[in-house]
Amino acid sequence: MTEGSMITDKISSLIGQLSEPIILKVEAGAITRYADAIGDLNPLYRDVEYARNSRYGEIICPPGFFGWPIKGGGVEMTMSKVVGAVAEAGLWRILDGGVEFEFYIPVRAGDTLTTYGQLIDAREKVGRSGRMLFLIIEQKYLNQNGDLVAVSRATLICS
Amino acid sequence: MAKKQLYYEDVEVGSEVTPLAKVATTQMLVKWAGASGDFNPLHYEDSFAQAMMVGTPIVHGALKRAWLGHLMTDWIGEEGVLKKLSCQYRGMDYPRKMATMYTPHDGETWWCKGKVTDKRVEAGEHIVECEIWVENGKGEKTTPGKATVVLPSKKRRG
């Protein structure tokens, strides 16, 4: 992969396409395990009674946790078409470059969320280790009432 | 953790976000993989990490992002609201190996830190912007980022 654009026709054709929906179930136990993995002992993530008496009225998710996928596959499935197109373009090293989150509504235990992934940008850059392809993947999370709870934009660095 | 609430009036541009220490261990990475659903072998398989040219398994970027979330939610307290959080995974971090079931070997401690870069009232909301980062044992910012929060005000708003 030295000549031509890293952004193949296949990659450009995926820009703007929504992935299949992914359904996520938000369970209290999964929230606590997630908080445990970070080492965050906040009672809002583990103590039902404490949480019920808080302004949230229920156990909530730490920022960035949206429950566990029960339909439509996990994180790696979200963008399988994109990852496939990237591999076809001869790029085999994919690193997580970073992420930005916008939070609108707290996610509570008992919620069922729906998310769609979307490749929103593909850009070629020259860095320290040569040419790299930067992909921006956006995910919108909606709750059972159809309200937008959060948006994430992740950067994948492919080389 | 039912502690003292931070108010908008308590912070100024330049104020420090209360630092939070973290120790990444191989055990923590296993827990994170299971809890987050990220089963990329980059974070547990030596030969795969080597093939990906990172040497040995590295700390998940998303785990460091979650640490930064912890930093902010601890600091803003229960009445504070985290509106935005972003970070870039600039430098690789390598977990400490476990010495026993419960304790890691001696080694690196990471610090999550931050400082206030702006404060303003907008549409009745008391907004505070912060620059945040995860710093490794050498003091290098491997994971710089930003956060936007809304804090309660001591002046009752109408």
Alpha-carbon distance values, B131 to A101, A134, B112, B113 (Å): 15, 23, 11, 9
Is residue A137 scored above 90 in pLDDT?
Answer: yes
Which of B1, B65, B87 lies closest to A42 in CB terms? B1
B13 falls within a domain: yes
Give percent of chain B above pLDDT 90: 92
**In chain B, which among 98-137 make CB contacts under 8 A with chain A?**
none
Quote the pLDDT of residue A3: 61
Q: The domain spanning residue B123 has which CATH number? A: 3.10.129.10
In chain B, the percentage of residues whose pLDDT exceeds 70 is 96
Range of the structural domain that residue B17 is part of? 8-24+60-150
* B14: in domain: yes
Handedness of CA B59, A149, B150, B131 (dihedral sign): positive
Show residues of chain A in contact with B39, CB under 8 Å. Answer: 76
How many angstroms separate the CA atoms of A99 and B65, rounded? 8
Interval B139-143 mean pLDDT? 97
What pLDDT, on the 0 to 100 scale, is given for residue B158? Answer: 43
What pLDDT, on a 0 to 100 scale, did the predictor assign at position A1?
45
Whether pLDDT at A2 is above 80: no
Total number of domains constituting chain B: 1
Burial classification of residue A151, based on how many CB atoms lie within 10 Å of its CB (0-12 exposed, 13-18 middle, 19 or more buried): middle
Average pLDDT, integer, range A129-154: 95
Q: Specify whether A157 is located in the same domain as A131.
A: yes
B34 inside domain: no
CB contact under 8 Å between B87 and A95, yes or no, is no
Whether residue B37 and residue A69 make contact (CB cut-off 8 A), yes or no, is: yes
Where among A65, A95, A114 does a domain terminate? Answer: A65
Q: What is the pLDDT of residues B85-125, one digit of tens each?
A: 999 999 999 999 999 999 999 999 999 999 999 999 999 99
Q: Mean per-residue pLDDT for A123-144?
A: 92
Inside any domain, residue B48? no
Q: A40-88, pLDDT tens digit by residue?
A: 999 999 999 999 999 999 999 999 999 998 887 655 566 788 888 998 9
Residue-level pLDDT at A76: 56
Cβ distance A38 to B67 less than 8 Å, yes or no, reads yes
Please tell me which of the candidates B28, B36, B69 has its beta carbon nearest to residue A63: B69
Question: Looking at chain B, which residue has its C-alpha nearest residue A54?
Answer: B78
Range of the domain at A36: 27-65
B 49-78 residues with CB < 8 A to A: 52-53, 60-63, 65-67, 69-70, 72-74, 78
